[in-house]
Amino acid sequence: MRTTYENGVLTAFLDGEIDHDAAAKIRTRVDATAQSLKPRVLCLDFGGVGFMDSSGVGLVMGRYRAMKLMGGSLRVVNVPERLYRIFAMSGIEGLGVLR
Amino acid sequence: MKTLNEMKLSFPSKSQNEAFARAAVSAFIAPLDPTVGELSDLKTAVSEAVTNCVVHGYRRQGGEITINGKITEDRRVILKIRDKGVGIEDIKQAMEPLFTTAPDEERAGLGFAVMQSFCDKVRVSSKPGKGTSVTLEKRISHVR
């Protein structure tokens, strides 16, 4: 997973398959990076994700809460169309993080 | 209905086996030549069911997960995913969207909702202390 940091925005480029196993690893890495950089915005880029189950939703909800606690916000970008269905089921659209 | 093929899979309850289960089920249904969407739907449902065994059934204590697969003549894929874990007290509640007993693990509570949405049929049977079995059924379309 590649990350970039620019103008207070930490972007994590997620790739491969996001299941319960992968989500735990992503969460550890993203949280550690966010803790040290204290970004204004955390941006999760789903462009490279080929498969996702509901663990991806848990990952987004968890980062949403974590960023709120840090006084920042979350953005979710480049969600491939076929992954939208799970995000739609979760009601995550209501959080206003999906771009 | 005549059975065209069958398989049995057994593996320890480890989270890295979620990917293994998806790959094995994909290979099992490959002869039906499913669409990308159908394949993705089944993989997602299997991933949810196996994750439930790992996270809830065995509470990360380890145990055996089995998958019995069947393909029928009318192109139905039937997958029975079983654990011998703690079981579910209240199946109706467990199946409610957004209900989860593991919020600290960042579980969204969508597992059964996803299975139901991505399969034609989902059957759950469980006995507290004995384990849970989830049967997923999906028909793979014929013509492209």
For residue B105, what is the DSSP state?
Answer: G
Structural domain harbouring A18: 2-95
Given an 8 Å threshold on Cβ–Cβ distance, is B117 in contact with A62? Answer: no
At residue B1, the pLDDT reads: 83
Residues of A in contact with B48 (CB under 8 A): 53-54
Q: Is the pLDDT of residue B144 over 70?
A: no
Number of domains in chain A: 1
Given an 8 Å threshold on Cβ–Cβ distance, is A24 in contact with B54? Answer: no
Model confidence pTM above 0.90:
yes
Residue A80: give its domain's CATH number.
Answer: 3.30.750.24
Tens of pLDDT, residue by residue over B63-108, are 999 999 999 999 999 999 999 999 999 999 999 988 888 877 788 8
Query: Which of 3.90.110.10, 3.30.565.10, 3.40.50.10490, 3.50.50.100 is the CATH number of B3-139?
Result: 3.30.565.10
At residue A98, the pLDDT reads: 86
At residue B85, the pLDDT reads: 97
At residue B104, the pLDDT reads: 76
> Touching check for B47 and chain A: CB below 8 Å?
yes
Other CB atoms closer than 10 Å to residue B128's CB: what's the count? 11
At residue A87, the pLDDT reads: 92
Pick the closest to residue B137 from B86, B68, B66 (CA basis).
B68
Q: Where are the domains of chain B?
A: 3-139
Tokens of A75: 């953005």
Q: Is the pLDDT of residue A58 over 80?
A: yes
ipTM metric: 0.91
